[in-house]
Amino acid sequence: MSNLEAFKQFAKRGKYSPAAQAIKNAVIYTRVSSKEQAETNKSLETQGKYCREYAQKNSINVLEQFGGTYESAQTDERKEFKRMLQFVRTNKEPIDYVIVYSVDRFSRSGEGAISILSELSNIGVKLLPVTQPTDASTPSGKLQQNMLLLFSQFDNDLRRQKCVAGMIEKLRRGEWSWRAPIGYNQITINGEQKITVNEKGEILRKAFFMKANEGLSNAEIIKRCKALGLVIAKQRLTEIFKNPFYAGLIVHSLADGEIIRGKQEAVVSEAIFLKANGQAALNPHGFTQNIMNESLPLKRFTKCAECGTPMTGYINRKKKIYYYRCNKKGCNCNVNAKIMKEAFEEQIAQHSIDTTLIEPLKEQLSLTFSYLNRQNESNRNAIQTRLAELRGKINKVEEKFVIGDINKELYEKYIGRFKEEEREIQGELKKVDFNLSNLPKYVKFSVDISSSLNKMWHSGDYIFKQKLQYMIYPDGMTYSKMEGKYLTPRVNYVFSELTRLSNSLKEKESGLMVESTNSSALVGPVGLEPTANGL
């Protein structure tokens, strides 16, 4: 055989091979999660020290150090973190490592961080956590790093869950855990928070009375408030008038629609608050409006067929009878709550299925939705391709801005447009990104509850009934007093298909046969609407 040494001049070396680059380059990234940590302990200093000593010990050349501040790692939209990534991507000298104290100092976003590491790996950059040494160049080392990132995200999720649970408990006790709105002071005495009305709040109290008793426009109220020493924007004033916090109440998404009496000082009474919002007409003498009443689960869920207005509820105390009504002038549809309840139970009964059909229905519904979701695969691939192309444009614009090829004005113009387009594409992706592995769970849940819809709704509390109602009829319902019935609503596709299949199976005399998934009757909306949480 010929001597291959003579051919070495024609060999090609890897860009990041040891022979191509004897000295390894790196950047260091340090961070803490909160301002208090940055100011009261020496964690940042310790992280930087360990990272520099590791680099020196292993003959790694540190080109730049980033971080040195507090940045939450729950997302990867961090100023110093993004600046570090941009430097790594665009630096003329190749970067081999991002040195961090530990994996969770790099990120706690789980899958997002894994995606970033994969991108960096493609350009020859590896993560070096000095207190968790792993060789990311090997499959096992990469797996170990990815597991550490996922566990960091899991730890974050657990902390968030505990934190949210604590905030919900405080809300139930009427305690506000966030910054109080304008017009209030927050002070802590002996570990107990006090939220009291300040001078601005006194002016806002007068503003509420101007609105409630004098019927002034917001523009006129703003002028009067300015004369009293409070400058406030029109939109801000509208938000204040609609915030029950000023009436001593608490509303928050964590309370799941519940109205809670807070411990804060009220600026105005509940009656003045309602009157300022034009709600006095809803409380005529002899009636009491119910915010959340077990006897009125259909309020706001049901609209008046004659005028399209959502129906509210009240009790006639003299007659001790509950009613639903719309409040549009000229219509004022008023219906006995018992009549609407019975009509609704008749409506919901249409979707109940025979318990003997549960198992064959599960099988048939799985086949049906598997068939309907097949085309999602091609749609998903096309959308993901568009998303990848757009992210390439975003990276290119960011790179040009960093190296000075475009100015800040052009950068903000294009990056804003691209980011908005990215959000729209991600929204499209969610619509088709249904995971068929979850299908059995959805099917079982839907079929099981469909066998006892009447009983479940009848015995459930107010919140349960509302959730069940919206799960079956996502857009709510419309009731016609003239016809004395509910008009045909849009039904969650799972339940409409269950009803159709159940009726079809009942008609078969020769046993339970599985229908062909190619039947034209199965043509319908693509995708399975997930069932409501909390049922």
pLDDT in tens, 172-230: 888 888 888 999 998 877 777 889 999 999 999 999 988 887 778 888 899 888 888 89
* pLDDT of residue 290 exceeding 50: no
Say whether pLDDT at 509 is over 50.
no
Domain 15-159 has CATH 3.40.50.1390: yes
How far is Cα 346 from Cα 454, in angstroms, rounded to an integer? 9
Name the superfamily (CATH) of residues 184-278: Putative Large Serine Recombinase; Chain B, Domain 2 (3.90.1750.20)
Q: What is the pLDDT of residue 339?
A: 92
Q: How far apart are CA 167 and CA 431, in angstroms?
A: 32
- Among 485, 489, 469, 478, residue whose Cα is nearest residue 297: 469
pLDDT in tens, 227-246: 888 999 888 998 999 999 99
Burial of 309 (0-12, 13-18, 19+ CB in 10 A): middle
Length of the chain: 535
Domain residues of the chain, as ranges? 15-159, 184-278, 283-346, 374-433
For the stretch 315-323, contacts whose Cβ atoms lie closer than 8 Å and that sit 24 or more positions apart, written own/partner, are 315/287, 315/288, 315/290, 316/286, 316/287, 317/286, 317/287, 317/288, 318/286, 322/293, 322/295, 322/296
Residue 462 in 3-state DSSP?
helix
Give the C-alpha separation, 357 to 505, whole Å: 8
**What pLDDT shows up at residue 417?**
82
Half-sphere exposure of 154 (CA within 13 A, CB side): 6
Does the pLDDT value for residue 468 go beyond 70? yes
Q: How do beta strands 184-189 and 97-100 pair?
A: unpaired
Q: Which residues contact 153 (CB under 8 A, 6 or more apart)?
A: 108, 109, 110, 111, 113
Contact 259, 237 (CB under 8 A): no
pLDDT at position 373: 65
pTM, two decimal places: 0.35
